[in-house]
């Protein structure tokens, strides 16, 4: 049976953006509302949730009249309209251009229909505390490793029943064929892609407002809702939580913890390639790769995987609205582990070490003005993300590269070291190693919080709306493009408050918690919940 979905032009800009199927394809009329009717009633019934207007405490200073004429606000107004179209970018003021009313859940209930449990709770009435333990993937036994690979294969192979994506630009009336159902893994990829797609706008003409901010030598920036600003740790914390929760649902196992790849451990980190596969490029190449060999398909358990969005064209001034169609495969996963000579001229040819992280760990402030990738900003977020200072390049080593050599650290250096698909920021989540990598980034973020939160919880900076920060990075803005909507403030808290913890290497191979882990639980939860939590956190 084919439903007709009546939409407006505003909704059309969710092209390629995953949305709950119940609130789009399964509705006869699109009404900007996502308050599904469940067996218990709307939004799970009167005891679970209520349908209300979506609001945010973040105030856009460009709309209050005070800064409307500033260069910043003029630039943002330009970027809100897609070049070459009359459309408004749906990511601004997320999610109000798609949904204006949604479920708000009571107590420990969660989900877009309030039929799930909030992270940290399980049971029929979501009343049983649960603390998931995330472990080092290289400490798992063969059975546990096989489970990780199996769940990845399952979510890549099987359609995500609860989500759908628009794949044709609708005008006013759209048949159901204009929506596609894709794999759950590709849903993950689409979320990440839509947060940071269109990295730059080139060829800006002199009549454009944006020409005041860029030229041919300095490409025009577009908003990055997940990187290069204060939201980097909080956005990815929310993202990994979403991925882990969906994997738990597939496994029917609320205790499953996504493992992390500790690339700071020089003794074990290279063992990851036995699990994730290598490629005939970089340090694994025979014969050694040259400057023209920058990537190659992976081998191992993910060798037959296809990617999405890897060949989408970037937006250029006066071009059409180029966005990824996630239902079309675009090629294999590729890597160039260790990089080639050309990559070496951009980044150190090695993975970050524990010593590299200690430099970031010394930063007591979360972020500093101008809250960007400026090399004078030495706050923790900028250091963790990997933007450091510039030093001169050696012209004898890098004759084709002029200017400074950016010392790239931690998160960024791992992406560049793995290379290939991981090298392209919007598309990097196509590679399953991305999730183990970012789980480790979140672990390091948690370690920083643990270091500086004994007396006062480290403050998210800036902790009020400021036009200095990119859209989406203010503390009360919703993370783009997650739904149900969550804010940076929601993710700006300890992992245990969100229902998980890191075992580091102090968890036994059986999955039970060691004495060190118990001490962490005691200090976090108190003795009254200790026994229940220990019984609930054997993950595999």
Better-scored residue on pLDDT, 50 or 537:
50
pLDDT of 211: 56
C-alpha to C-alpha distance for 337 and 339, rounded to whole angstroms? 5
pLDDT in tens, 350-386: 789 999 899 899 999 999 888 888 766 678 999 999 8
pLDDT for res 461: 86
Provide the pLDDT confidence category of residue 507 given band limits of 50, 70 and 90.
very low
Residue 184 has pLDDT above 80, yes or no: yes
User: 521 versus 211: which is more confidently predicted?
Assistant: 211
The answer to whether 384 and 441 are in contact (CB under 8 A) is yes
| pLDDT for residue 193 is more than 50 | yes
Beta-ladder partners of 390: 406
Give the pLDDT mean for 289-306.
Answer: 81
Distance CA 368, CA 27 (A): 45
Convert the pLDDT of each residue in 13-38 to its tens digit: 466 788 898 888 777 667 889 999 99
> How many CB atoms neighbour CB 277 within 10 A?
22
470 touches 224 (CB < 8 A): yes
- pLDDT value at residue 503: 92
> Which residue, chain included where needed, has tokens 């160039």?
336
- Please give the Cα distance from 193 to 216 (Å, whole number): 25
The model's pTM is 0.86
pLDDT, position 522: 40
How far apart CA 323 and CA 15 sit, in angstroms, is 7
Residue 42: burial class (beta carbons within 10 Å; 0-12, 13-18, 19+): middle
Strand partners, 159: 183
DSSP sequence for 111-139: STTS-EEPTTEESTTS-EE--EEE-BGGG
Residue 535, pLDDT score: 34
Minimal CA–CA distance to 249: which of 151, 362, 168? Answer: 151
Q: Which two tokens stand for residue 306?
A: 């296809």
Domains of the chain: 4-31+57-92+131-505 (1.10.1280.10)
Residue 74 burial (CB count, 10 A): 17
CB 463 within 8 A of CB 475: yes
The model's confidence at residue 537, banded by pLDDT at 50, 70 and 90, is: very low
Looking at per-residue pLDDT, the higher value among 8 and 177 belongs to 177
Portion of the chain with pLDDT greater than 70, in percent: 69
> 385-423: per-residue pLDDT in tens?
988 655 555 666 566 655 555 557 899 989 988 988 998
Q: What is the pLDDT of residues 138-160, one digit of tens each?
A: 999 999 999 999 999 999 999 99
Residues in Cβ contact with 32 at an 8 Å cutoff, skipping those fewer than 6 apart: 11, 98, 99, 100, 101
Q: Is a pLDDT exceeding 60 seen at residue 474?
A: yes
CA neighbor of 183 nearest in space, from 328, 22, 367: 328
Q: Look up residue 38 and give its two tokens.
A: 């469940």
Distance, CA of 126 to chain centre: 26
Distances from the Cα of 335 to the Cα of 351, 353, 416, 417, 452, angstroms: 15, 21, 10, 9, 37
Judged against a pLDDT cut of 50, whether residue 9 lies above it is answered with no
pLDDT above 70 (res 321): no
- Mean pLDDT across the chain: 78
Supply angle C-alpha 263, 479, 25, rounded to 5: 110
The whole-number average pLDDT for the span 101-110 is: 96
């Amino acid at each position: 049976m084919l439903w007709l979905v009546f939409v407006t032009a505003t909704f059309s800009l969710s092209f390629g953006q995953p949305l709950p199927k119940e609130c789009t394809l399964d509705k006869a009329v699109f009404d900007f509302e996502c308050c599904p009717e469940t067996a218990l009633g709307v939004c799970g019934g009167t005891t679970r949730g209520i349908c209300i207007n979506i609001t945010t405490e973040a105030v856009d200073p460009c709309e209050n009249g005070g800064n409307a004429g500033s260069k910043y606000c003029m630039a943002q107004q330009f970027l809100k309209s897609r070049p070459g179209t009359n459309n408004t970018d749906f990511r601004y003021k997320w999610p109000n251009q798609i949904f204006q009313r949604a479920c708000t859940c009571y107590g420990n209930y969660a989900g877009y229909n309030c039929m799930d449990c909030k992270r940290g709770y399980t049971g029929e009435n979501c009343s049983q505390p649960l603390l998931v333990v995330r472990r080092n993937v290289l400490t798992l036994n063969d059975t546990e490793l096989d489970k990780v690979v199996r769940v990845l294969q399952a979510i890549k192979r099987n359609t995500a029943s609860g989500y759908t994506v628009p794949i044709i630009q609708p005008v006013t009336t759209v048949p159901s064929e204009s929506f596609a159902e894709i794999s759950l893994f590709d849903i993950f990829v689409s979320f990440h892609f839509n947060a940071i797609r269109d990295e730059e706008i080139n060829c800006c003409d002199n009549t454009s407002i944006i020409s005041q901010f860029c030229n041919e030598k300095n490409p025009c920036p577009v908003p990055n809702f997940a990187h290069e600003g204060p939201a980097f740790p909080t956005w990815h914390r929310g993202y990994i939580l979403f991925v882990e929760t969906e994997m738990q649902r597939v496994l029917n196992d609320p205790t499953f913890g996504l493992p992390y790849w500790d690339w700071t451990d020089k003794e074990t980190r290279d063992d990851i390639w036995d699990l994730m596969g290598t490629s005939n490029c970089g340090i694994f190449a025979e014969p050694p790769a040259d400057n023209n060999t920058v990537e190659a398909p992976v081998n191992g358990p993910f060798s037959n995987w296809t990617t999405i969005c890897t060949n989408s064209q970037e937006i250029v001034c006066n071009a059409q609205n180029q966005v990824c169609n996630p239902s079309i495969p675009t090629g294999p996963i590729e890597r160039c582990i260790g990089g080639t000579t050309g990559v070496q001229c951009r980044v150190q040819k090695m993975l970050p070490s524990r010593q590299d992280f200690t430099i970031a760990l010394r930063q007591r402030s979360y972020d500093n003005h101008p809250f960007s990738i400026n090399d004078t900003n030495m706050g923790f977020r900028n250091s963790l993300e990997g933007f450091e200072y510039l030093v001169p390049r050696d012209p004898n080593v890098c004759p084709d590269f002029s200017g400074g050599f950016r010392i790239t650290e931690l998160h960024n250096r791992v992406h560049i070291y793995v290379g290939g698909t991981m090298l392209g920021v919007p598309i990097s989540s196509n590679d399953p190693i991305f999730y183990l990598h970012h789980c480790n980034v979140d672990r390091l973020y948690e370690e920083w919080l643990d270091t500086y939160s004994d007396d006062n919880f480290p403050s998210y900076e800036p902790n009020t709306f400021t036009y200095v920060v990119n859209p989406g990075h203010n503390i009360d803005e919703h993370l783009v493009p997650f739904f149900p909507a969550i804010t940076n403030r929601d993710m700006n808290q300890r992992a245990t408050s969100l229902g998980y913890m890191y075992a580091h290497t102090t968890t036994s191979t059986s999955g039970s918690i060691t004495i060190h882990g118990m001490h962490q639980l005691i200090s976090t939860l108190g003795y009254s919940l200790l026994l229940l939590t220990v019984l609930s956190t054997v993950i595999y």
